[in-house]
Structure 1
């Protein structure tokens, strides 16, 4: 059992943590920034995203992709610092865009809420969008309950996506042409709720609310459990084999393995996920723990 320790403080709501080229990268929703963080905790803002940044990834040429949540775009920050629109998923997203995972060839899969979470709308299923390396957009799969954090296995043949309101992690075979087939449960934490349920009804049914996640070299997932103030390590099938909780009892909303040896787990912590409360204060933080099994796959 590892212990979480404070690392960086003073954010509004951190999300999309990544380890890339020897540093941490993270989005801050309501500060509208993407920042690079050195291993000693020194933070530098590298991009401002008025549309609220979330998932991060990199193309083969070194360009960084950033999800802009409110306007349903995927931005591209080129190696020379230029910022352009890489893709627009507005024709597919029925709620805020959120996390993404990028394959080695530059293909990206982007989730969205599917409904207006912050205004208390009833949950409804949505799709996962595929963004080809040239920025063209297509519908990858339908009937996902708030597709959120996603990973691609080291062999490049499986994509796993968390369904925050679906009580599980869903896997697909990732084909050479970028299509997803062979839908199956990777982890099942409880029955899948009925669409149309309001949030209080949903929360009573959910054992785990998968948010950001990452894969390790034993084919286990570290998953931020957005509803239970913890980060859990999960085996294929759904057995929870480890659990980490911040000492202050706050919520955990994303995680990533990184560091020089891939054994540092970074988690995004905040008192709650309320947009109204989080944008008004700077109470979000990043915590780290040392774990035994290193990072694998993407992101």
Structure 2
């Protein structure tokens, strides 16, 4: 499988999400959120003074944006950006990725190399810690049935799964995949529960099933794999964000981040959201 370039010229792309015919993604160092369509046309929401990372859409279409260094989650209603939640008193380190469930609850990771946590922001915008003792929690996905959350533990080189209870608690912690080929970063899940995983330092994306079986690999020809998302008109377009380094501080002022795309066999779940 050979990916095709779709858009470039960004500093450090993160948090891709497919929504209403567009790929949305953060440019953490460029202080912006971008969109790109399947023809490569882009638009930009400027976020000066912010370092956006994880993105997610609530059921009403509201975009939530993780502001990493402020340790806040922002809300964008199509016109204005406001602060939804300040998590500074709950987390031990800067924020990272996010996933939103069918109820509109947002799960946000705090990226301590040891002792990282996941915070849940409920639909009423109250916040609580729902998982701890994680080794740099990064990308997150929720399985198509809504019953399981999978999180990438980057420094642990593993994917960890939790059962999601009806009230949003994370219980029954277990290993989804361990001993990975590289530190995992962003994740995407397909309709069969396969988890596309950005293997940063291995310079590839891998599709991994529960238990650690790797069913597909996409080589990025030496580029650093950062994050991915499934979307497109059939839900079978896999969007790949890559850069030239895994460490954002080395990329300040550069424009080497890129979005590639290719078709895969298994589509995204349901309405192509995750």
TM-score, reference length from structure 2 = 0.95
The question of 1:178 aligning with 2:151 is answered no
- Offset, 1:136: 1.2
Give the alignment partner of residue 229 of structure 1, picking from 176, 198, 203.
203
Alignment of 1:140-155 (within 5 A): 140-155=130-145
The question of 1:272 aligning with 2:270 is answered no
Give the alignment partner of residue 80 of structure 2, picking from 71, 79, 82.
82
Map of 2:159 onto structure 1: 169
Map of 1:195 onto structure 2: none
Partners of 1:242 and 1:156 in 2: how far apart? 24
Map of 2:230 onto structure 1: 257
The question of 1:285 aligning with 2:242 is answered no
Structure 1's consecutive aligned runs of 4 or more residues displaced over 4 angstroms after TM superposition are: none
Map of 1:128 onto structure 2: 118
Map Cα deviations across residues 237-274 of structure 1 (whole Å, 9 max, x no partner): 11112111223x11011011111101111111111023
Map of 2:19 onto structure 1: 20
Contact 1:70 1:97 in 2 (8 A): yes
Partners of 2:255 and 2:206 in 1: how far apart? 25
Partners of 1:235 and 1:104 in 2: how far apart? 22
Partners of 1:180 and 1:286 in 2: how far apart? 32
Contact 1:221 1:234 in 2 (8 A): yes
Give the alignment partner of residue 96 of structure 2, picking from 89, 95, 98.
98
The question of 1:215 aligning with 2:205 is answered no
Q: What SS is found at the alignment partner of 1:276?
A: helix
Map of 1:7 onto structure 2: 6
- Offset, 1:224: 0.2
Give the alignment partner of residue 295 of structure 1, picking from 262, 268, 273.
268
Contact 2:11 2:28 in 1 (8 A): yes
Contact 1:34 1:49 in 2 (8 A): no
Q: CA RMSD in A?
A: 1.4
Structure having the higher Rg: 1
Partners of 1:216 and 1:61 in 2: how far apart? 22
Partners of 2:9 and 2:137 in 1: how far apart? 28
Partners of 2:265 and 2:51 in 1: how far apart? 34
Change in Cα spacing, 1:252 to 1:154, as seen in structure 2 (3 Å) is same
Partners of 1:152 and 1:236 in 2: how far apart? 13
TM-score, reference length from structure 1 = 0.87
Q: What SS is found at the alignment partner of 1:296?
A: coil
Gap regions ≥5 residues in structure 2: none
Map of 1:246 onto structure 2: 220
Change in Cα spacing, 1:98 to 1:49, as seen in structure 2 (3 Å) is farther
Partners of 2:104 and 2:95 in 1: how far apart? 19
Contact 2:111 2:117 in 1 (8 A): no
- Offset, 1:47: 4.0
Map of 1:202 onto structure 2: none
- Offset, 1:11: 0.6
Alignment of 1:198-209 (within 5 A): 207-209=181-183
The question of 1:67 aligning with 2:59 is answered no
Aligned residues, how many?
272
- Offset, 1:187: 1.3
Gap regions ≥5 residues in structure 1: 115-122, 191-206
